[in-house]
Amino acid sequence: MRSSFVSNFLVGVFFFCLGPVMFAKETPSESGGPAGTKAEIKEYIEHHLKDSHDFSIASYTDDQSNTVHWGFPLPVILWDNGLKVFSSSLFHHGETVAEVDGNYYKLYHSKIYKTDSEGTIVYDAEDHPTNAKPLDFSITKNVVMMLVTGLLMLWLFTSMARKYQKSGGVPTGVAKFFEPIVLYIRDDIAIPNIGEKKYSRYMPFLLTVFFFIWFLNMFGLTPLGVNVTGNIAVTTALALIVFLMTNFTGTKDYWKHIFDPLGDGMPWYGKMIIYIILVPIEILGIFIKPFALLIRLYANMTAGHVVLMSLIGLIFIFKSWVGGPLSFGLSFAISLIEVLVALLQAYIFTMLSALYFGFAAEEHDHDHDHEEPVLEHL
């Protein structure tokens, strides 16, 4: 009886708490009601995923309905009939037109367009801007975070190297945390996939790309609001480096496997028909491997940011004392999972890079292939 009463009581409390969320009518808000709130959340998520020409940390609306931004401007570097360098503060977060040397530029959806003094944007039939775009070499938010990450890695590992020299090779301080990771990359990723003879030539890149991706992924979970590895340009650049290293360091056995995969075990007239299909597939595989590498990192990190930001946005949609804590709890749980995903994606990128390097560095012992079998007389 007592257990039945307790269970019924808990069920009643559950539906009592969930009632405002399930059956409450949506009340219009100052931003235009629930539809306006959802549009603002969608716009905020899209803004978070994109790069920006200023480093905005936070923003809020004051009593006069003015948006106040916390952050700092970044240098804008354009090539438009000459070099144009100015501060992104001239755009005032896309609200004003920047005038530089008699030319007018407008920041629209994180892109800079050439326009007139009124900031007119001309659209085509599909609502795409048709204004001219100057070549943009600006120091954006993602570039700043990559520079910060590079300097952090340089300072961290050079200081670790100096401490190793002073302590006689004994890890001290933060080196106790990073040494097992470095040894794991060497002993469980590089050597098994590349081999003991040639793994050392690829180790600097493998260590660099692992910590570079890991640190950037961790920065993406901070209130700084960065999404560097969720930018397809960044992942494309990393995959392009892997592609160039793989093909420029490939041995003759690597290229022979691509253009003559069946080897000498079959006469050429017997292989011609098969090679019409097999060789194009092997050549296509050269480009598919880095493409899969860049898409995997980009898609996983972007999906994680979208899910996390969407759960946070549910707090402003529910507007209830149950929906808010529930969304916050789910967001906190996803954040903990994203910490693991940040490390996992760095590991996968490094593992696959080592695997591709192993394909390129593989060499067959041709001498043993032509040795005559030795017959032992008993």
* 8 A C-beta contact, residue 232 and residue 255: no
Give the per-residue pLDDT at 312.
82
Largest CA distance in the chain: 102
- Which amino acid, 46? E
Report the chain's terminal Cα–Cα distance, integer Å. Answer: 88
Structure tokens at 375: 């017959």
Torsion of CA 79, 85, 88, 92, to 10 degrees: -90
Query: Quick one: CA dihedral 292, 42, 129, 117, positive or negative?
Result: negative
**Angle ∠(262,265,269) on CA atoms, nearest 5:** 75
**What pLDDT sits at residue 25?**
35
- For residue 251, report the phi and psi dihedrals to the nearest 5 degrees: -80, 175
- Walking along the chain (378 residues) 10 residues at a time, the average pLDDT comes out as 42 37 37 61 75 80 72 90 91 86 89 90 88 92 94 94 86 89 96 93 96 95 87 94 94 88 74 83 93 94 87 78 79 89 96 95 62 43
Backbone phi, psi, residue 170, to 5°? -95, 125
Q: Of the candidates 144, 106, 114, 146, which has an alpha carbon nearest to the alpha carbon of residue 130?
A: 114
Structure tokens at 126: 């599909």
HSE of 370, CA atoms in CB hemisphere, 13 A: 5
* Ordered alpha helix ranges (H), the chain: 2-23, 33-49, 141-167, 175-184, 191-194, 199-219, 232-248, 252-259, 268-318, 323-361, 366-369
CA distance 205 to 285: 22
**Tokens of residue 260, six digits:** 């003559």
Cα(250)–Cα(358) distance, rounded to whole angstroms?
9
- Which of these, 190, 360, 220, lies nearest to 290 by C-alpha position? 360
199 within 8 A of 190, measured Cβ to Cβ: yes
Lookup: tokens for 151: 């300097």
Token duo for residue 325? 């804590």
* Nearest by Cα to 278 from 293, 257, 292: 257
State how far the alpha carbon of 3 is from the alpha carbons of 9, 10, 129, in Å: 10, 11, 66
Structure tokens at 355: 């695997």
Residue type present at position 220: G
Q: How many residues does the chain have?
A: 378
